[in-house]
Structure 1
């Protein structure tokens, strides 16, 4: 496996409170990796540190052969490491088209038109609503828009932070079907999710965070075969 994202001994937190306690995590090229754990385990903090939104205390983040430890978030985006944030974070007063175009502001601007057609092919609903204000869309449509905006930057690796949060069961199925398609298209994905069952069905490997440390890493089948982990951390 060619390692694309290589996180080693990552430590950090807020003020004097340590949140991450020496986390190691790898994502290979074209691989789907699930990052699981209860609320407060450190998943969001890890995302922020990897994407340059929060400084780490120590450790390294290497991506696609480059050392991004301590890099500004713009440099992270330019490298092709793109995050679709929890809560969608679309611009409610801008149109669907304007939100999508902002996705290519830092990276892949010269191929904006081509990538826009690709996103519309994946999400026909966005094409139908290209002139609609994002704030008037349903939660599922806004999540499609957030992922589409991420794809506009031609990600080498896409971090999806709780993409099914707040969606109806039917839309959750639709969302995971889309994520599976992205993986089949060869895109590397780090999937941060509370929906354990669906995540493990499509992941190549999984990590379980507990109190800022990796409690488990390996194939989903091995995780599901461990009764203690299944009960204590996954609620299964």
Structure 2
């Protein structure tokens, strides 16, 4: 579904990604792991059309999208839920959700809103509440719900567990399992190595703009280099 080959990207003249290869097959959860500054968000934003790559190829469902506008990529069904939630704090929960269907999913907006509320009952109780008054966990639900309003074919989740309490982290990874169970393909970009490898089919480890490890998630969970670098043993 998503094929990235030899991707080079960055900001201005500064190269952050140095030849990244990555793929997501239909029906998979693929984890992209790495510490702060590894280049994870640069990769997301380049794939989603917010930055133009310096080189390499990006293909979504067989079509080259490197250099395509972010709007065109959304319309194709490649949707990112960005790090930091980025909800519109002065708009209501419902308005935030409906904005998710601005470029894609507009005709089924009512049906998709009902689906999101069924997935996140707490949002259903707060539809008229300003998004900025929600807790951090509720804002993360809202950000994911807004992404689902776009009827994604592939959903990129950028650090969905960041800043959440341990209980909410468990809930978040349970939700990701549920979304995948409903047939959604997911690229999970995370620092939470243990939880990510527990639910992913395959995984990549990004360090200093390069993929240094890749393979089946279950195999990487036992890899000595990963355990030493990210788990401390």
Fold-level similarity (TM above 0.5): yes
Give yes or no for contact 2:100–2:147 (8 Å, CA) kept in 1.
Answer: yes
Are 1:119 and 1:148, in contact at CA under 8 Å, matched by a contact in 2?
A: yes
Alignment of 1:171-210 (within 5 A): 171-210=168-207
Aligned match for 2:142, one of 142, 145, 163: 145
* Residue of structure 1 equivalent to 2:162: 165
Residue 8 (structure 2) aligned to one of 8, 11, 20: 11
Q: 1:68 aligned to 65, 72, 78, which one?
A: 65
Residue in structure 1 matched with residue 24 of structure 2 by the alignment? 27
TM-score by length of 1: 0.97
Partner in structure 2 of residue 228 of structure 1: 225
Q: Is the 8 A contact 1:37 1:234 kept in 2?
A: no
What displacement does 1:225 show? Answer: 2.1
Provide runs of 4+ in structure 1 moved above 4 Å.
Answer: none
**Alignment match, 2:111:** 114
Contact 1:10/1:20, CA 8 A, preserved across alignment: yes
Query: How far, CA to CA, are the matches of 2:166 and 2:53 in structure 1?
Result: 36
1:12 offset after TM fit, Å? Answer: 1.4
Post-superposition shift, 1:233? Answer: 4.2
Worse-matched range after superposition: 14-23 or 202-211: 14-23
Q: How large is the Cα RMSD of the aligned pairs?
A: 0.9
Give 1:127's match in structure 2, choosing from 124, 137, 146. Answer: 124
After the TM superposition, which residues 98-109 of structure 1 pair with which residues of structure 2 at under 5 Å, given as runs? 98-109=95-106
Distance 1:213 1:120 in 2: 39
Unmatched runs of 5 consecutive residues or more in structure 2: none
For the residues of structure 2 that align with 1:234 and 1:75, how far apart are their CA atoms?
39
Return the alpha-carbon distance in structure 1 between the equivalents of residues 232 and 54 of structure 2.
Answer: 32
Shift of 1:185: 1.0
| TM norm structure 2 | 0.98
- Separation (CA, whole Å) in 1 of partners of 2:185 and 2:147: 13
Give the superposition deviation at 1:234. 4.7
* Unaligned segments of structure 1, at least 5 residues: none
Q: Deviations over 1:73-126 (max 9, x none)?
A: 000000000000000000000000000000000001011001011101101111
